[in-house]
Structure 1
Amino acid sequence: MTVRVPAPVHVLVLGGTTEGRQLAESLVGDPRVRVTSSLAGRVAAPRLPSGDVRIGGFGGADGLAEWVREHHVDALVDATHPFAATMSRNAALAAAQAHVPLLALRRPGWAAQDGDRWHSVASLAEAAELLPALGERVFLTTGRMGLAAFAGEDLDALWFLVRSVDAPEPPCPRETEVLLERGPFSLEGERELIRRHRIDVLVTKDSGGDATAPKLTAAREARIPVVVVRRPPVPEGVPVAASPDEAVEWVGRLYASG
């Protein structure tokens, strides 16, 4: 009797996050799986995941669907940043075109705690509108993209400390100091940064995770307001895993189903 062994499942991980790297590391050692990670290439020196890696865009949803078909991808995992809405939308469209299953890997967002002074907003533009009423020295931790929202003349009286992995490109706020750092960040370090720069308002996206969460604790201790930009929703109908372990289980079920 001949026993048929299913071929390895080819999983394309749209990565760039800690969770994407953890998922790739878990899958690389599994003989049932062939994993390829794709990075957008927006960071000059990205942390590369285990296994095969490609860097660069696909050319939209159609280009991604074509790549999936040409490389015989069996499943997509969208492990991009929670705010990479365009890539997530393209992943959903491409998965539908190529007729492959799609999973969104999203770490849980942050939750306000007693003592927090959070202001929830839907966009960077809405965050910028709030700032003049909240403070004068702003710790801006939304990354190097989208700084144009804070470059208007109505914010010229404010001072900004902008932290990002790579140097931001103009337009930037008029009074800006740039801090090039990559997380994780310590609570003691965030306390000192807020104290040294006399920060009186923090702006952040609801990225979730532990690597950058200490700034929220430091802001709570300093009793300063925090403007939190809400996440865009995951495309409708796409299942969500909250951890790499859940994503590994999802891939295992695909293999079991043949």
Structure 2
Amino acid sequence: MQRTIVIGNISLDHIHRPGHPPVRQLGGAALHLAVAAARAGLPVAPAAAIGSDLTRLTGDPRLPALDWTLLHHAPGPTAAFTIYYDEAGTVTAVDTAYGTAEHLTAHALRLIDSHPQATFHVSCRRPLRIRDVLQALTARGCSFSLDFHLPSAPQLIPAATPWLHRAATVFVNAEEHTLLTQTAGPRPCPEVVVTDGPRPARVLLYGRTLPPATPPAVPTVRQITGAGDTLAGTYLAHRARHVSPAIALTRAVQAASRHTAQTPLPLPAPS
């Protein structure tokens, strides 16, 4: 199975949820997605820019075996995000300190240039320059998939629209799907996966909606951050093995539910 390169942030997150004490944890879409994909059997390499405060990350025994060779180590602090949720589990605000993530676009463009035959997944988050990355992927003829994040989706979905039809799969939540449809029409790419928290997820193939998959109930939700990325990574891993979209979605929502029941990865990563 071909390796997938995951372009996105690995970060130090500070999570605020109503009724829960604040939590500091390892995070970032590239980390959550890559971990889920690896656990589902997909060879995956996170392509992120990290600082000296995460030098021990690659030896963290809590993580599955990942290909760490495409990390970019830069001077300065790793990206840090303070994320606020409401009672429904929706992100209401994000405070950002991009740190070494400012180097991510240049690093991604180098990787695309040197790995034109690779499969890529792009987590569309600031400060990544989406237009530059998608233009390079398309020019090189690379296979790629995308996901978005609600706080930046109103800006990044329109920026990505000229290249959406070239994506194999786009992952969005329900609100992002509304933005996607308004911006790019009902068939932006061959395959769109739409999530909605604990409610049923669905796949649209060329605009045709497949039967939804309902996530199993979780007695105790210990974390919300990373659930969507876990779903996306698991889905991509099963689709890479030519599992049908319906079965891949069922397995993906199950993995996302298991993720919410797990304890977050606290900081710092142990030596």
TM class by shorter-chain length? Answer: 0.3 to 0.5
Give the greater-gyration-radius structure (CA): 1
Q: What TM-score results when the alignment is normalised by the length of structure 1?
A: 0.40
